[in-house]
Amino acid sequence: MMSELELYINQCVQLSSDELREVKALFERKMVPKKTVLLQAGDICKFEAFIIRGCIKTYFIDKKGLEVVLTFSTENWWVSDISSFENQEPTKMFIETIEDTELLFLTPETKYELLEKHPELEKMFRLMVQHHLNSYQERLFGNIAHTAQERYQNFLKKFPALPQRIPQHLIASYLGISPEFLSRLRKRKLKE
């Protein structure tokens, strides 16, 4: 039986099970309890990590000291500040677990080794970056072109499982509205 990471890799390139094992050995598996800060503003990001189980938020702090959630990352997805990681320069973001989370970590060194040995995986990482880019593009467009109500509907469609897992005020922050207003949107929706 294949692990989540192996399934994920297989969607992108065909590797033998020997190769897969070798690849997997370069990742370091870690359990991280909820509310652990994996990266904070000023740090240099030392990881690209694949999520096996759990949930993670990425956010900025605005000038009033409030969190602005940029992304939620869950099972079978990657988490990192890609540009801080690639260029080994300080980040402006925070990355923090919302649930107990199980991760497979790459460091700059192990990623380098991985790509030396298996250059076919370049494509997988390129796709990863492109997915991130796409999702930011869509989110930016959505934030400008849609009302809060519509953004909330789209969020529910895209992440149907999340509302049961994470506090509502984080969703509000992700949608770019106040927690009070999200509460009102939900009430309004119930009446229909």
Partner DNA sequence: CTTTTTTCTTGACCTAGGTCAATGCAAACC
Partner DNA sequence: GGTTTGCATTGACCTAGGTCAAGAAAAAAG
The single residue among 1, 17, 119, 187 that binds DNA, judged by CB under 7 A, is 187
Residue 2 found at the interface with its own copies (CB under 8 A): no
Q: How far is the CB of 57 from its own copies (least distance, A)?
A: 14
Inter-residue contact 39 to 93 (CB < 8 Å): yes
Q: Positive or negative, the Cα torsion across 12, 14, 15, 20?
A: positive
Q: Please state, in angstroms and as integers, the Cα–Cα distance from residue 30 to each residue in 58, 102, 105, following that order.
A: 19, 6, 8
For the record, the structure tokens of 168 come out as: 């509502």
Count of beta carbons in the 10 Å neighbourhood of residue 77? 17
The single residue among 2, 140, 156, 161 that binds its own copies, judged by CB under 8 A, is 140
Residue 128 found at the interface with its own copies (CB under 8 A): no
The single residue among 147, 158, 161, 189 that binds DNA, judged by CB under 7 A, is 147
The single residue among 6, 19, 75, 86 that binds its own copies, judged by CB under 8 A, is 86
For the record, the structure tokens of 52 come out as: 């096996």
Residue 36 found at the interface with DNA (CB under 7 A): no
The single residue among 36, 137, 168, 183 that binds its own copies, judged by CB under 8 A, is 137
d(CA 18, CA 31): 25
Label residue 150 exposed, middle or buried (CB < 10 Å: 0-12, 13-18, 19+).
exposed
Please give the residue ranges that form the binding site for DNA (CB under 7 A).
147-149, 167-169, 176-184, 186-187
Please give the residue ranges that form the binding site for its own copies (CB under 8 A).
60, 62-63, 68, 70, 82-83, 86-87, 122, 126, 129-130, 132-134, 136-137, 139-141, 143-146, 176
